Chain A
Amino acid sequence: MLVVDNISLKAGTFELTNITFTVDQGDYFVILGISGVGKSLLLESIAGLIKINSGNIYLRGKNISEEKIQKRNISIVYQDTDLFPHLTVFENIAYPLRSKREKDIEEKVLKTAELVGVSDKLSRKPDTLSGGEYQRVALARSLAADNDIFLLDEPLSSLDAKSKRELRALLRKLNRSGITIIHVTHDYEEAVSLAGKIGIMEKGNLVHVATPENIFKHPKSEFVAQFIGIKNFLPGKLKSLPQSDLKEFIVNETRLFCLTEADDGDAFLLIQPEEISISNSAESGSARNHFEGEIIDIARAKIGVEVTVDIGCEVVALISAESMNSLGLKIGNRIWTNFKASACRIYN
């Protein structure tokens, strides 16, 4: 659907070099990278806000590299300062609508507002909205435009945890309804939680494009490897348990207990290596997960030692060298891994 073919550009101190990727209809593509690597610049060049120096951008087979911004059918939503401050929420959502019949406009605005959950805010001005409401209205306005692709530039960065969670659910819902999204962020949790495909960006280059699982299991870049915790990144299924606040995460044959608000179904699980303790027998504390397994690798980490244990799936525990010596750990030993249900982070 969208093909970015070898584009390069220079804008001030920022530079993009030979960026190539493809986004299919209905994809949720997340571009992940630290601040200042050119993520926003890439989005703005796709939207036509910044001219590319070389390469081509194709949308539905048509070369749009020289197309005017207003003819591209691509919306962009920023972190904040998106909404027109002099217009009400209704007027903001109605802005892209050009129908001559006021009734058509009203119908479309009401429908869109309902979809994103701002029906009761239509007469408000943007400066009276909370961060979450503000971003919902920005999304509603893009929806009303009926554009082919949504470009989201760190749309959740300035939100509190609750609003972030709600907005993520909304973005997933929009994506499931068929909307193609390209989303840039520096937050790997956000990326894992939303992406169907992730592109890792470093110093103006897109260095790795793959599924979240591949990105974190087989990191091709320092940047990805920097994220502590990506070692225990497991795909599986989440299932509610009757009469319990816990849920069950099934990976291969192994069933882990999780304390999460995530929805049942396909999901990813992340456990920080330092959240996993190792013992010679099952611990009797508050931890709900105790698995016996075989040590398959022991490697010195930047701090401490990483012990990889096969418990039906591979998990990595970070322990001190002193603990390793006192437990007498060796490759091939059978030991117990223990971690709390609340240490399991689930991303749908």
Chain B
Amino acid sequence: MKTISANNSFLNLVFTFLGGVPLLFIIAPLAGMYLSTSFGSLGEAIGSEEVRGSIWLSLWTSMAGTILFSFLAIPLSYLLARKNFRFKNLVNGIIDVPIIIPHSAAGIAVLGIITRDSFLGRTGELFGIKFIGNPAGIILAMAFVSIPFLINAARDGFAAVPERLEKIALTLGASPLRVFFTISLPLAWRSILSGFILMWGRGMSEFGAVIIVAYNPQTAPILIYERFTSYGLKYAMPAAVLFVTVCLLIFIALRIVRRKK
């Protein structure tokens, strides 16, 4: 007769094998990319001002979008976590829309609101801000497709903060604003930081929406795509490896910071 633990070991073995396949599916292409890139070509990519510039553009535009929109996304997340109102489910659904629509369509949608004929386009021009073919447009396109990650993570973070603590803080004479900044925000900070990292990462790797709003200046994903279509896999690979490496290093560093907090 088999014991329970023997059955469990068999199940664990099967699950480990099955679970290993998707893990391999993620690791293998990346590892293959690294293995087929020589140090020489990687050095050339590092030395290329065009490659460095595109990576830097991806990093800062995505960061700018994440910081800018976090001032709006975090209050919305708090409301969604704490308040019940009509059409709340609809609002939650709308927030997820950018995740499910094709990103080229997302780019078209963003383009629609930033053309010279649109309100935003006209207002921007009044202040000398151009969106199309400009970092400002890239920021909007990146934020559009990545903001759900921040809102959802922050909402879950606020929801996990016991409401009782906020109420106790009120009974101690704190204003609702003080309660938000001293209790709710610090306690939800870990989730917010996770959402922040996800939004930034998702934004900087965006291709479909960005290429429609701004082919130039080129972000890293567009540069990699252009090198691939113009010169082939071998020429695109070093820039891709460099971009992936930068992304990985930043994410590892941020996750360490998050864990320490």
Contact = CB atoms under 8 A, between A and B. Distances in A.
A147 to B, nearest CB: 8
Contacts of A11: none
Nearest to A73: B173
A87 to B, nearest CB: 8
Nearest to A98: B173
A74 B172 CA distance: 8
B187 A95 contact: no
Contact of A145 (B162, B167, B172, B187): B172
B175 interface: yes
A96 B168 contact: no
B186 A86 contact: yes
B71 to A, nearest CB: 22
A73 B171 CA distance: 7
Interface in B170-203: 170-176, 182-183, 186-187
Given A81-B162, A86-B186, A86-B187, A96 B172 contact: yes
Given A84-B183, A86-B186, A86-B187, A72 B171 contact: yes
Interface in A277-299: none
A70 B174 contact: yes
Nearest to B165: A84
Contacts of A141: 172
A254 B168 CA distance: 48
B259 interface: no
Interface string A88-106: 0000000110100000000
A141 B165 CA distance: 13
Contacts of B173: 70, 73, 96, 98, 145, 147
Interface string A127-169: 0000000000000011001010000000000000000000000
How many chain A residues sit at the interface, stated as a range, is 20 to 34
Given A85-B187, A86-B186, A86-B187, A76 B171 contact: yes
B168 A82 contact: yes
Contacts of A147: 171, 173
Contacts of B164: 78, 81-82
B99 interface: no
Contacts of A78: 164, 168
Nearest to B167: A49
Contact of A69 (B167, B183, B186): B167
B169 interface: yes
Contacts of A98: 173
A75 interface: yes
Contacts of A69: 167, 170-171
A47 interface: yes
Nearest to B163: A49
A212 to B, nearest CB: 28
Contacts of B171: 47-49, 69-70, 72, 74-76, 145, 147
A86 B169 CA distance: 13
Nearest to A145: B172
B55 to A, nearest CB: 36
Contact of A84 (B167, B169, B176): B169
Interface string B150-174: 0000000000001011011111111
Interface in B118-176: 162, 164-165, 167-176
A76 B170 CA distance: 10
A232 B172 CA distance: 42
A86 B190 CA distance: 12
A95 B183 CA distance: 10
A70 B170 contact: yes
A82 B174 CA distance: 15
A298 to B, nearest CB: 52
Contacts of B176: 70
A81 B162 CA distance: 9
Instruction: From B171, B172, B183, name the one whose CB has the most chain A CB atoms within 10 angstroms.
Output: B171
Contacts of A145: 171-173
B175 A70 contact: yes
Nearest to A71: B173
Contacts of B182: 84, 95
A49 B165 CA distance: 12
Contacts of A96: 172-174
A82 B171 CA distance: 12
A52 to B, nearest CB: 16
A143 to B, nearest CB: 11
A73 B173 CA distance: 7
Contacts of A76: 167-168, 171
Contacts of B172: 70, 75, 95-96, 141-142, 145
A2 B176 CA distance: 25
B165 A95 contact: no
Interface of A: 47-49, 68-70, 72-76, 78, 81-82, 84-86, 95-96, 98, 141-142, 145, 147
17 contacts: A47-B167, A49-B167, A69-B170, A70-B171, A70-B173, A70-B174, A70-B175, A70-B176, A76-B167, A81-B164, A82-B164, A84-B169, A95-B169, A95-B172, A95-B174, A96-B173, A145-B172
Given A82-B164, A84-B182, 5 more contacts: A69-B170, A70-B170, A75-B171, A95-B182, A96-B173
Interface of B: 162, 164-165, 167-176, 182-183, 186-187
User: Top 5 A-B pairs ranked by shortest CB distance?
Assistant: A96-B172, A69-B170, A70-B170, A145-B172, A49-B167
